[in-house]
């Protein structure tokens, strides 16, 4: 499985991001965990984005 990443639109699997740091952080988390065999869903991407926003990662 590969992630559908669009760096110009800042989307991962169709989920939009408004903050570059959060976008890159979620991308890193997804890619490193996929090495271990995890196959994320769109819901997973949304959850990670929302959790990063709630934690104030900037």
The model's pLDDT over 2-11, given as tens digits with 9 standing for 90+, comes to 789 999 999 9
The enclosing H or E element of 54 equals helix 42-55
Helix (H, G, I), strand (E, B) or coil at 41: coil
For 24-41, how does the pLDDT look when each residue is reduced to its tens digit (9 = 90+)? Answer: 999 999 999 998 889 999
Domain that holds residue 44: 5-55
What letter would DSSP give residue 18? S
User: pTM to 2 decimals?
Assistant: 0.89
Round to whole Å and give the CA distance between 35 and 54.
Answer: 26
Tally the residues of the chain. Answer: 58
Query: What is the structure's pLDDT at 2?
Result: 78
Burial of 53 (0-12, 13-18, 19+ CB in 10 A): middle
Domain count, the chain: 1
């Amino acid at each position: 499985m590969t992630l559908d990443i669009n760096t110009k639109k800042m989307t991962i699997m169709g989920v939009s991001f408004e903050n570059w740091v959060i976008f890159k952080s979620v991308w890193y988390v997804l890619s490193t965990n996929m090495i271990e065999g995890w196959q994320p869903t769109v819901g997973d991407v949304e959850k990670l984005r929302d959790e990063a926003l709630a934690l104030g990662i900037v």
